[in-house]
Amino acid sequence: MRIEEHLTLDVDAVDFSVDLSNVVRNRALPGDRPADLRRFLGLIRAVVRYTRDDSAQVYAVADGSLLSLPALTAQERSTLHRWRSEGLIQVRNVADDRLLELADLAGLPVISDDKFLDTYRTYPWIAGSRDRFFRAVAGPDEGGVRLEPRTMPIPPDWQISRKEEESRLLAVGMYDRRHGTGARRQLLTRQWRCPEDDCPIFGAGATASQPPPMFRNGTVRCPTHQRQLADIGPKPAQKQLKLRVDGVVKARFMLVAGTATVLGRAPTGPGVALAREWLDETAHGRISRDHVELTWDGARVTVRDLSRNGTWIRHDRASGPGRPLPSGRRLPTDRTAWTLRAGEVVVLCDGVELVASGRTYVFDTERPTAPVPRDALAAEAAEATVFERPAGP
């Protein structure tokens, strides 16, 4: 078999898109090296058998790092470079984006072992898909590879968020996947200053909310100006909370360790205000201007009720329109603090609730002790990212 006859970038001619790097690195397939291009040849034979078409075509996409991977032989690397120069394969910094773009726009089924968790909000159709993804597995056929359909998982929100964060860090060099150390925590727990004072993210006005810097060739750099950053001290730890209205996440906000945050309809002092358009007339009337005070000490979230109508704590179950207020424990009216435990929700009024995000940030030292129930993926994808202060009282 001449493998080049089965490679094309003509979307109209192909049967499958293939995560080339994923297949070559798949140690569950035949081969005693960490990466072996013969696994891809075995996959092509498996595609021919699966489609019962001797002329079956695949659209192969590779991560750029594959072409210089030391685990491949010099001849294999040369072959990959030749395929790219001849327009037989596509090479991207990250292959996943292109594979899912092809699946979304052209309907191409994807061959990969990847779970694609960091793309679920962009492509909500992935969750539970039964007919758009395939994997290469070891088999007795020629080449030792066979093709089988796979059902994509429906993961909890915290797993999606964790993978999204890993991908963002990887893009700026702040995630060390090659050596298996993960997030570069010693760098991510610091605040940085750019030599350019007017830098919008690392300049003189930089705050604790600054994004991860860029790490290249052993140096921490500004992604805007490419200049080396100065370490200006530790970054305060933060904890994310989500606001749900009738079961739909409307916004997220951060608690900074050691700082109390008041949330309500329109806090009288510094705090977080709920946008008027999110609340119906009943909810707007029941939520106080200063409703709850939230504090995070770096390990636990505590809640104090400041409202006139009460605040409840219950175990999580997304509420929805027309559902009665779930039973739970009412917070003390004497403003005694309640420590929020895993799986508990703060209910401000019927259908309006706060839930601690399951996302574990890079400066957290432990994973969640219990899974956080998954919100509707489509709703999560469209959610707002900041709170707005409503007009009027």
Q: Is 16 a residue whose pLDDT tops 70?
A: yes
Confidence of residue 252 (pLDDT cuts 50, 70, 90): confident
Determine the Cα–Cα distance for residues 102 and 280; give it in Å rounded to an integer. 41
| Per-residue confidence band for 209, with pLDDT thresholds at 50, 70 and 90 | low
**For position 42, what pLDDT does the model report?**
94
Least-confidence region, from 43-52, 106-115, 249-258: 249-258
Whether residue 391 is predicted with pLDDT greater than 80 in this model: the reply is no
Taking 50 as the threshold, does the pLDDT of residue 362 lie above it? no
The yes-or-no verdict on residue 255 having pLDDT over 70 is: yes
Of the candidates 266, 239, 269, the residue with the CA atom closest to the CA atom of residue 252: 239
Higher pLDDT, 268 or 383: 268
- Percent of the chain with pLDDT strictly greater than 90: 43
Q: Is the pLDDT of residue 94 over 50?
A: yes
CATH code, residues 238-382: 2.60.200.20
The set of residues, in sequence order, having a beta carbon less than 8 Å from that of 311 and lying 6+ positions away, is 291, 292, 303, 305, 330, 331, 346, 347, 348
Of 20-29, 31-40, 338-347, 355-364, the one with minimum mean pLDDT is 355-364
Per-residue pLDDT averaged across 177-203, rounded? 76
Looking at the chain, which residues constitute the CATH 3.40.50.11980 domain(s)? 3-149
* DSSP H or E stretch at residue 92: strand 89-92
Q: Which CATH class is domain 3-149?
A: alpha beta
Instruction: Write down the pLDDT at residue 373.
Output: 33
126-139 per-position pLDDT tens digit: 999 999 999 999 98
* pLDDT for residue 175: 61
Q: What is the pLDDT of residue 303?
A: 96
Q: What confidence score (pLDDT) does residue 177 get?
A: 60
Domain with CATH 2.60.200.20 in the chain: 238-382
Phi–psi pair at 39, nearest 5 degrees? -65, -35
Pick the more confident residue, 176 or 36: 36
The C-alpha angle 100, 104, 108, rounded to 5 degrees, equals: 80
Across 109-118, 153-162, 174-183, 363-372, the highest mean pLDDT is recorded for 109-118
- Taking alpha carbons only, the member of 357, 318, 2 closest to residue 160 is 357
Beta strands in 310-374 (DSSP E): 312-315, 329-330, 338-340, 344-349, 352-356
pLDDT of amino acid 60: 96
Model pLDDT, residue 183: 58
What is the pLDDT at residue 5?
Answer: 93
Which of 43-47, 89-93, 164-168 has the least mean pLDDT? 164-168
* pLDDT classification of 382: cutoffs 50, 70, 90: very low
pLDDT tens for 325-361 read 445 799 999 999 999 988 889 999 999 999 887 544 4
pLDDT at position 206, please?
Answer: 61
Q: What is the pLDDT of residue 251?
A: 80
pLDDT of residue 370: 33
User: What number is the average pLDDT over the span 113-121?
Assistant: 88
Q: What is the pLDDT of residues 287-339, one digit of tens each?
A: 999 999 999 888 889 999 999 999 999 987 544 444 444 457 999 999 999 99
pLDDT of 237: 77
* Residue 83: CB atoms within 10 Å: 20
